[in-house]
Amino acid sequence: MDELELLKKDWQKGRIEFKSYSDSDIYPMLHKKSSSIVKTLFYISIGELVFWLLASVLPYVLSPTFREKLDISYENPLFIGLTILSYVIILTFIYLLFRSYRGISSTDSAKKLMESILRTRKVIKYYVIFNLSLFFLSIPLSLYFEYQDNPEFHQQIVEASTTQMLIFYIVSIVIAGIIILILLLFYRVIYGILLKRLNRNYKELKKLEV
């Protein structure tokens, strides 16, 4: 019997005591985490803008051939419109994320914090959908511009046989699929991980409201 009592005492000494948190303790932690996540998303969006600017500017500066083709493309109003639209969307996205970050940082209400999280989720969702749609449309449009502006490519298409055109279409679809898949994985990894954390915070806040 003594041995049993000793075992009980040892077990009680080795128990891990879990600290309990009240709602007033949990909310500041969720607030800080949410603010940090949105701030990170904001910085990522700026990095993405810088990346696309460099991807456009560097080939233009370093490659005379690319510069010549791009100058021809900019003669097409549709190409100019799509380029301007893409950068306007990115800048709008950055602004909305910054506004979400400011909103989360300044609010003291759990309800308002939940609303800010929901807005952030919607903004990112629509941004990803827009980008994927834009890239999906840009591939056939690029081929169309090349067909219109490049006499050599135009002649190759005109003289191509049915089999050659079928191969061309298949290759174009496969390349388009690969590019879209890479972009989808990029957004899923970069934005998806942070959105999951934001969703967890939202669920915890919802429990506090109950």
- Residue ranges of domains in the chain: 27-209
Q: Out of 51-55, 66-70, 181-185, which region has the weakest mean confidence (pLDDT)?
A: 66-70
Which tens digit of pLDDT belongs to each residue from 107-159? Answer: 767 778 888 888 888 888 888 888 888 888 877 887 777 777 777 877 888 88
pLDDT tens per residue, range 69-85: 777 767 777 777 878 88
* Residue with tokens 């989720």, as numbered in its chain: 121
Question: What's the pLDDT score for residue 19?
Answer: 45
- Provide the pLDDT for residue 24: 58
Identify the band that residue 9 occupies on the pLDDT scale cut at 50, 70 and 90: low
Question: DSSP secondary-structure letter at 20?
Answer: P
- Class of residue 36 by CB neighbours under 10 A (exposed 0-12, middle 13-18, buried 19+): middle
Is residue 88's pLDDT more than 70?
Answer: yes
pTM of the entire predicted model: 0.70
How far apart are alpha carbons 156 and 23 in whole angstroms?
69
Cα gap 68→71, rounded to integer Å: 5
Q: How far apart are CA 121 and CA 119, in angstroms?
A: 5
- CA within 13 Å, CB half, 146: 11
**Residue 32 and residue 135: Cα distance in Å, rounded?**
35
Residues 6+ apart with CB under 8 A from 24: none
